Structure 1
Amino acid sequence: MTLNEVKVGNTVHIKKLNGSGPTKRRIMDMGLTKGSEVYVRKVAPLGDPIELTVRGYELSIRKADAAWVEVEQ
């Protein structure tokens, strides 16, 4: 399961970051690293972006970027 498939109100843990190079680095710089707990707060009406709570702060991420993040319950 990837982060863009998680329903609003669920909390998941990051299992793996896919991708390479600048894309993976940008995702890691946002605080989305292996083992981090992520709470899905909101999804925009048209589905993009997704608002998350990670490491005590709120983060909005595009669905395309969220698809690179594998998660587990």
Structure 2
Amino acid sequence: MENICRAAIEGATMVLRYGAEGMERNGLEPGEIHLVGGETESLVWRQMVADIFNQPVVSPVNNRGWCS
């Protein structure tokens, strides 16, 4: 089951990367990736995002989102 969950998270992250590639084609290049929300407490997911985007990942101290 763990592999299925990891594959689902990886797939969702790849979709985000696909969107970022479109932005890059239009001259927008991020210097770092900002993540918010409870899921950012997962070191595995943050590392996955950093690896897929090949960018440093930044998370706020309060990971409850922008509205907190």
| Structure with higher helix content | 2
- Asked if these proteins are the same fold (TM beyond 0.5), I'd say no
TM-score using structure 2 length: 0.30
TM-score using structure 1 length: 0.29
The higher relative CO (CA closer than 8 Å, separation ≥ 6) is in: 1
| Structure with max Cα Rg | 2
| Structure with higher strand content | 1
